[in-house]
Amino acid sequence: MTMLLHLDSSANRSDESVTRRLTALFADRWRSIHGSTEYRYRDLAADPVPPIDTAYCQLGRRSEREGVVPLDLVGALIENDAEADAWALTEPLINEVIASSTILIGAPLYNFSLPAALKTWIDRITFPGALALGDTEVVVITSRGGAYGPGTPREGWDYEVPYLRAYFTNYGVRDDNIRFITAELSLAGLVPHLAHLRGLAERSLAEAVSCVAAGQYAAAQG
């Protein structure tokens, strides 16, 4: 089955959000090819996933002690209402991920890492033994206020792209099936001391738009 799971995590829900504009462009292109019947959207900032709690952890540990229980049997391990509530929040999110052929993630770089809303979603879906993503394609669209590429003063300070690559490949996504499209220097148009970099910022955004529109995702890998 072909299904796109589209996730936005930018705290800025206005049209100023670079990642939201780019993920919307990707989703529109995808639906023009595949149709909209198998498309699901989650705004992790507007409708945040609750953080995992004691009940989630206890249910997960119980599953691990049993040698990791298949998803459809986890319910039999539930011992109280809190665990039932935790699983009711978790299972639909996991099933959504497993059912997706493509996962599209909008993830601006916040404080050198990923948005808390995205990390909370990741924590929730990572229930013991739940994920085996295999042939799933993951497309991550990132934006950065500054520049973090080779030769820049902040080279190596981006902990978002390496984290997301490690996370998804750990759960079965092939390294050549996770792709990153990055727009850098998004603050150049706003911050006076970055004004001299506006041309580079415009070029970076134009390249990202071109990659999304043309489907050339591999050309912009991070």
Residue positions in the annotated binding site for FMN? 10, 143-146
Instruction: Answer whether 173's CB lies under 8 Å from 166's CB.
Output: no
From residue 117, give the alpha-carbon distance in Å to each of 12, 167, 174: 12, 16, 25
DSSP three-state, residue 36: coil
Phi, psi of 105 (to 5 degrees): -125, 125
Burial of 214 (0-12, 13-18, 19+ CB in 10 A): exposed
Cite the annotated binding site by residue number: 10, 143-146
The encoded tokens of residue 5 equal 């799971």
Task: Give the 3-state secondary structure of residue 142.
Answer: strand
Number of Cα atoms under 13 Å in the Cβ half of residue 56 = 16
For residues 121 and 52, what is the distance between their CA atoms, to the nearest angstrom?
Answer: 9
Distances (CA, A) of 204 to 124, 143, 149, 199, 207: 33, 10, 12, 9, 5
